[in-house]
């Protein structure tokens, strides 16, 4: 005879680990990096070279264009930095929502399997009762037939 496994020996389902998402340190690091980028592009001297023309000295107009470009670049980079915590929080919330939904789906599937097993057991019990009743009915019928002859 072979050895039989008990239900405790079989692992049917293992709950998955919660998703990691973005840690506070990762979010803060990305935010700090983006803010540093914003500070770097805020210097008008970085943007001055784009407005230089060969053979012409830099004038007030070029300085004004460079300052405007620096302000626009700073605003864009600073806005991007401020969006990082929001994007990370939204991503973490989405991961947690997907995890919860998958847990609910798994629970529903396990409940469905349990219900199917319960129905099969109930049908097997009914079949056993029907078989027993048929056997007993046939036995009684045979006895009664033997008595009337």
Rounded to whole angstroms, the Cα distance separating 14 from 85 reads 33
Tokens, residue 114: 């349990």
Distances in whole angstroms, Cα of residue 121 to Cα of each of 92, 110, 127 = 43, 17, 10
The dihedral region occupied by 31, where left means phi > 0, alpha psi between -120 and 50, and beta the remainder, is alpha
Between residues 143 and 114, the one the model is more confident about: 114
- The span from the first CA to the last CA of the chain, in angstroms, equals 50
Residue 146's pLDDT is 63
Q: What is the pLDDT of residues 46-96, one digit of tens each?
A: 777 777 776 666 778 788 888 888 899 999 999 999 999 999 999 999 999
- Averaged pLDDT, 107-112: 87
Q: Where are the domains of the chain?
A: 22-148
Tokens, residue 95: 């991961």
Residue 58's pLDDT is 72
pLDDT at position 33 over 60: yes
């Amino acid at each position: 005879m072979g050895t039989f496994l008990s239900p405790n020996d079989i692992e049917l389902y293992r709950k998955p680990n919660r998703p990691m998402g973005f840690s506070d340190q990762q979010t803060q690091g990305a935010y700090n990096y983006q803010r540093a980028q914003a500070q770097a592009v805020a210097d008008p001297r970085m943007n001055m070279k784009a407005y230089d023309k060969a053979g012409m000295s830099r004038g007030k107009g070029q300085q004004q264009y460079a300052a405007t470009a620096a302000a626009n670049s700073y605003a864009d980079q600073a806005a991007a930095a401020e969006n990082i915590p929001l994007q990370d929080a939204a991503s973490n919330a989405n991961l947690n929502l997907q995890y919860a939904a998958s847990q609910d789906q798994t629970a529903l599937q396990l409940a469905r399997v349990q219900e199917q097993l319960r129905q099969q057991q109930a049908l097997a019990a009914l079949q056993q009762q029907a078989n027993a009743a048929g056997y007993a009915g046939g036995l009684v019928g045979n006895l009664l037939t033997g008595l009337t002859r």
